[in-house]
Chains A and B, each alone.
Chain A
Amino acid sequence: MKRVVAVVPAWNEAGAIGRVVEEIHAFDSAFDVVVVDDASTDETADLAERAGATVVRLPFNVGIGGAVQTGFKYALAHDYDVAVRLDGDGQHDPGELQKLFHPLERGEAHLVIGSRFVDQSGSYRPPFARRMGIRIFARLVSLLGGQRVTDTTSGFLAIDRTGIELFAAEYPHDYPEVEATLVALRSGLKLVQVQVDMRERETGSSSITFVRSLYYIVKVMLALLVASLRRYPRLEGAER
């Protein structure tokens, strides 16, 4: 029986976190849920605990990537076989997790990312500028990573032991998803993307505001450039 941990980064998600934890447990009660509270100023940590999650409380805000990585470090320290990551705002539907597990179970992947754009069946239609941004990042990562990817900004993913080891050691601290995808590919991880639908945010607001998007784009571009110049050690267990 594989041991699975759900890593849920959360920053001021008091309005959604309880339901997220309950939904994960409703999907599979055997899952351990770890909510990484990134120094929220509201009730997020207590509500998560009351809903039945293990709560890891960061002493100060370290950003989404640092929070997610904390969860992967937890998974590594507690010897989990599989870790999944879902956002604390409820946009990732635990009901879709089965799709993410299939490629892992068949040994086809170390890392499975829930993509909104594998085929046309998804309902997610972002505004033009964001759609372009997502597409450009996907093209770049495909080019630099040597494998076609369709959605590099998705935070909905599942990793096996090899993936946990990689991300516990190496995960960007802010705006991590795009760069992490490339790092995984360059480290030799097998990556599979599956079509998922994401829900609209229930509460709170997206961390990517218009003002920050320029920093976001430049930072990610630079990170991709540098990541493609770096050498990444092939991980044990990674093929290709």
Chain B
Amino acid sequence: MTPLRVSVAGAIASVLLILVVLELIRGRRLKERYALLWLATGAVLLVLSAWRDALNTIAGWFGVTSYPPAVLFAVATLFILLVLLHYSTVLSRLTDENVELAQRVALLEERVSGLGASERLKRVD
């Protein structure tokens, strides 16, 4: 069985996580699209902490009989991995977009400086 104190601590931590994420969204310091995975993490951990029978049952499925809260750690780790992987994809996209922007800026700058030169020539005429 899961010790009661572990369940209480897990539930409090999950609620705190959800509240912090909501506050960050409210303060516009976190975009919804990057908050969803964190909220899902908080929700799943809250359910598994508070619903003790469910945690025990799931632990049983995986053969974790001696200490069911281990499943809580496993699930938390899995979600953290998901969040990190998600960030890697975001980072890759941003890198590509950044290079694209740099290229466009460079090409436009070259064109603008050319335009400036031909303007001056016209004025001389």
Contact = CB atoms under 8 A, between A and B. Distances in A.
A36 B99 CA distance: 14
Contacts of A90: none
B107 A77 contact: yes
Interface string A43-77: 00000000000111111101100100110011001
B102 A57 contact: no
A74 B99 contact: no
B60 to A, nearest CB: 40
B99 A173 contact: yes
B110 A66 contact: no
A70 B103 CA distance: 6
B106 interface: yes
Contact of B102 (A54, A58, A74, A77): A58
Interface in B95-125: 95-96, 99, 102-103, 105-107, 109-110
Contact of B110 (A55, A62, A173): A55
B106 A66 contact: no
Give the interface residue-count category, chain A: 10 to 19
Contacts of B99: 62-63, 66, 173
Contacts, number: 36
Contacts of A55: 110
Contacts of A36: 106
B103 A66 contact: yes
B32 to A, nearest CB: 30
Max count, chain A CB within 10 A of own CB: residue among B96, B99, B106, B109: B106
Interface string B2-19: 000000000000000000
A56 B102 contact: no
A168 to B, nearest CB: 10
Contacts of B107: 56, 70, 73-74, 77
B88 to A, nearest CB: 14
A63 B109 CA distance: 19
Nearest to B109: A57
A59 B110 contact: no
Contacts of B110: 54-57, 74
22 contacts: A36-B106, A56-B106, A56-B107, A56-B110, A57-B106, A57-B109, A58-B102, A58-B106, A59-B105, A60-B102, A62-B99, A62-B103, A63-B99, A69-B103, A70-B103, A70-B106, A70-B107, A73-B107, A74-B107, A173-B95, A173-B96, A173-B99
Given A56-B107, A56-B110, A59-B106, 13 more contacts: A36-B106, A57-B106, A57-B110, A58-B102, A59-B105, A62-B99, A66-B99, A66-B102, A69-B103, A70-B106, A70-B107, A74-B107, A173-B95
